[in-house]
């Protein structure tokens, strides 16, 4: 095949300037935040390279240079060399396990002279390229053969395993976001729904395991309500049986009210049995509908999902309360960020909530934040950088940053969908998935909604590896996008 070299001017003509603008804006805000987070009253200018902000400026300069270089490269190389690039990064991950020094229990940093790099950040775009390459191979459709799933999962889980071996759980989890890509390319939505339900049920059960209502822990009660709602929603939307759904809703409401009244009146009944019976009657009703007139697989799936949910709920509850020791329960709760642990990780979250909360509606103003300068939160310029924004820019500023990310991700999704090749589209979805995961988990952690998982906020957190990793990720997509018209001429 003859590789046509792309005309440089056309790259810049067709470059998606909206994305570039958002990128520059985010990077600029990131630099400002790091400066604010590491600012101290008696220290020098932003260009003092010994300070975090000065170092970060150098990283940003190099990142801009790298993005420019990426735009000038031939776009074919990304598809042609997808597997070699992936292989190279995998080797680098393996090497890292053995040569990296132990920094706070994790072995993920490669020290090269004056700088340290985290290969886990760079293997993100390599994994995305490999996954895109797999999907773009001839006549590849995910649902065509189970083997295709095995191949895709292998590409995703190989880096996960290696990064786990480096004891970087957070970075490894980020690769799970690629399940969004599998979903876009044909994986059943039930997989994502089931995963989401499992997480929500688990967290809810565990979070409220100690409060008791209606002879049930509040957690169980809430999950039962969720299961009831889930059954109604699935019947209505998934099975398209509006009438049946309405009947179920009425039954659940009536039954729940009766149970509540009974318990208020002081009648001692086992909540587990009562709610079990209520749900069983509902499922029986669905089964009858299935037998009588509506022989559709979706109805069976709904019943199966409800039963599985209940089984999951009971086993989580059982294992958590009976099998685990109190101190083990405590550790799980703390690591999930459920319990305030003012001595350890919870202390950071608490401090970060205070910092953000004290920002108020419009913030205290640039460099006027006091909480973020407390140095109580060790990762204030890395994982907890969002605090600085919250404190100094207030609700307006932090909401604006979130909306900027929202626009970026919508834009990336739009770019992905307009690609003529499967390769570019899948790659685009990978980019969007990583961003969704990082932004959701990082901000969620800082505002106390997610467990404390140490992953960076793209373009904001201090560190060259993360900034470079995300820049590579985004600009390779922009490079592919700028040449999308060239495919039409084939």
Partner 1 sequence: MRKDYRLEKRKYVIGGFFLIIVIIYIIRLFSLQVIDTRYKAFADSNAFMRKTLYPSRGMMRDRNDKLVVYNQPAYDVMIIPRDVQMFDTLDFCQTLSITKEQLEKRFADMKDRRLNPGYSAYTPQRLITHISAQDYGRLQEKLYRFPGIFIQQRILRQYTRSTAANVLGNIREVSARDIERDSYYASGDYTGDLGVEKSYEEYLRGQKGVEILIRDAYGRIKGKYDDGAHDLPPLSGKDIKLSLDIDLQEYGERLMANKIGAIVAIEPATGEILAMVSSPTYDPKKLVGRERGKNYNELMSDFYKPLFDRALKGAYPPGSTFKPSQGLILRQENIISLTTAYPCYHGFINGGLRVGCHSHGSPIALKPALQTSCNAYFCWGLKSMLDSHRSKYGSTAEAFEVWKRHLVSLGYGYRLGVDLPNESRGFIPNAAFYNKIYGEGRWSANTIISISIGQGEILATPLQIANLCATIANRGWFITPHVVKEIQDTVIPALYRDRRYPTIEREHFVDVAEGMRMAVTGGTCRLANLPGIEVCGKTGTAQNPHGKDHSAFIGFAPYNDPKIAICVYVENAGFGATYGVPIGSLMIEKYLNDSIAPDRRYLEERMLQSNTIISSGVKKH
| Least distance between partner 1 and beta carbon 350 (Å) | 8
Q: Which of 349, 395, 387 is nearest to 371 (CA)?
A: 387
Contact assessment for residue 398 and residue 356, using Cβ atoms and an 8 Å cutoff? yes
| 333 lies in the binding site for partner 1 (CB under 8 A) | no
The only residue of 356, 457, 476, 480 in contact with partner 1, by rule CB under 8 A: 356
Closer residue to partner 1, CB minimum distance, 103 or 269: 103
| Least distance between partner 1 and beta carbon 83 (Å) | 21
Cβ neighbours of 138 (radius 10 Å) = 4
The only residue of 183, 285, 314, 366 in contact with partner 1, by rule CB under 8 A: 183
| 422 lies in the binding site for partner 1 (CB under 8 A) | yes
| Least distance between partner 1 and beta carbon 174 (Å) | 15
| Least distance between partner 1 and beta carbon 393 (Å) | 10
Q: Which of 190, 216, 182, 210 is nearest to 309 (CA)?
A: 190
Which stretch in 145-153, 164-172, 176-184, 327-335 sits in contact with partner 1 by CB under 8 A? 176-184
Q: What are phi and psi of 50, to 5 degrees?
A: -80, -25
The full 3-state SS of 321-371, as one line of letters, equals: HHHCCHHHHHHHHHHCCCCCCCCCHHHHHHHHHHHHHHCCCCCCCCCCCCH
Distances (CA, A) of 194 to 209, 396, 449, 484: 22, 35, 21, 36
Q: Which two tokens stand for residue 142?
A: 């995910």
Closer residue to partner 1, CB minimum distance, 300 or 402: 402
The only residue of 116, 296, 329, 421 in contact with partner 1, by rule CB under 8 A: 421
The only residue of 332, 444, 484, 486 in contact with partner 1, by rule CB under 8 A: 444
| 409 lies in the binding site for partner 1 (CB under 8 A) | yes
| Least distance between partner 1 and beta carbon 139 (Å) | 11
| Least distance between partner 1 and beta carbon 490 (Å) | 11
The only residue of 162, 216, 355, 445 in contact with partner 1, by rule CB under 8 A: 355
Q: Is the dihedral of CA 364, 31, 96, 431 positive or negative?
A: positive
The only residue of 186, 273, 280, 291 in contact with partner 1, by rule CB under 8 A: 186
| 300 lies in the binding site for partner 1 (CB under 8 A) | no
Closer residue to partner 1, CB minimum distance, 11 or 409: 409
Which element (helix H / strand E) includes 449?
A: none
Total chain residues near partner 1 (CB under 8 A):
61
| 431 lies in the binding site for partner 1 (CB under 8 A) | no
Report helix, strand or coil for 217.
strand
Q: Which of 5, 11, 3 is nearest to 483 (CA)?
A: 11
Residue 309 zone, left/alpha/beta (φ > 0; ψ -120 to 50; rest): alpha
């Amino acid at each position: 095949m003859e590789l046509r070299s792309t005309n440089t001017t056309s790259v810049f003509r067709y470059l998606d300037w909206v994305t570039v603008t958002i990128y520059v804006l985010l990077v600029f805000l990131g630099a400002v935040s790091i400066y604010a987070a590491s600012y101290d009253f008696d220290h020098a200018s932003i260009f003092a390279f010994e300070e975090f902000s000065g170092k970060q400026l150098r990283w940003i300069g190099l990142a801009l240079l790298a993005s420019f270089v990426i735009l000038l490269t031939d776009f074919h190389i990304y598809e042609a060399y997808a597997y070699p690039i992936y292989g190279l990064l995998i080797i680098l991950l393996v090497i890292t396990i053995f040569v990296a020094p132990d920094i706070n229990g994790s072995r993920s940093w490669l020290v090269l002279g004056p700088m340290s790099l985290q290969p886990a950040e760079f293997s993100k775009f390599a994994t995305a390229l490999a996954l895109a390459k797999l999907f773009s191979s001839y006549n590849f459709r995910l649902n065509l053969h189970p083997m295709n799933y095995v191949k895709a999962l292998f590409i995703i889980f190989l880096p996960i395993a290696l990064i786990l071996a480096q004891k970087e759980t957070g970075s490894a989890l980020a690769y799970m976001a690629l399940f969004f890509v599998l979903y876009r390319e044909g994986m059943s939505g039930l997989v994502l729904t089931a995963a989401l339900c499992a997480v929500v049920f688990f967290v809810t059960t565990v979070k409220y395991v100690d409060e008791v209502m209606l002879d049930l822990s509040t957690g169980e009660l809430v999950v039962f309500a969720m299961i009831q709602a889930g059954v109604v929603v699935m019947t209505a939307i998934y099975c398209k049986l509006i009438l049946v759904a309405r009947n179920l809703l009425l039954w659940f409401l009536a039954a729940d009210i009766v149970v509540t009244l009974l318990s208020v009146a002081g009648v001692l009944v086992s909540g587990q049995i009562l709610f079990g019976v209520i749900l069983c009657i509902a499922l029986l009703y669905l089964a009858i509908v299935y037998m009588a007139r509506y022989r559709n697989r979706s109805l069976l799936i709904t019943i199966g999902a409800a039963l599985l949910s209940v089984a999951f709920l009971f086993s989580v509850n059982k294992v958590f309360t009976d099998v685990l020791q109190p101190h083990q329960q405590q550790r799980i709760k703390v690591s999930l960020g459920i319990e305030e642990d003012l001595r350890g990780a919870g202390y950071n979250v608490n401090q970060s909530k205070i910092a953000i909360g004290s920002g108020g509606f419009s913030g205290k103003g640039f460099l006027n934040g006091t909480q973020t300068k407390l140095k109580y939160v060790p990762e204030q310029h890395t994982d907890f950088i969002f605090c600085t924004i919250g404190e100094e820019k207030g609700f307006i500023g932090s909401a604006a940053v979130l909306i900027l990310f929202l626009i970026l991700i919508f834009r990336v999704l739009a770019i992905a969908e307009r690609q003529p090749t499967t390769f570019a589209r899948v790659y685009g979805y990978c980019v969007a998935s990583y961003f969704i995961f990082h932004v959701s988990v990082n901000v969620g952690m800082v505002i106390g909604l997610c467990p404390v998982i140490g992953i960076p906020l793209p373009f904001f957190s201090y560190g060259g590896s993360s900034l470079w990793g995300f820049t590579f990720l985004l600009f390779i997509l922009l490079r592919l996008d700028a040449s999308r018209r060239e495919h039409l001429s084939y």
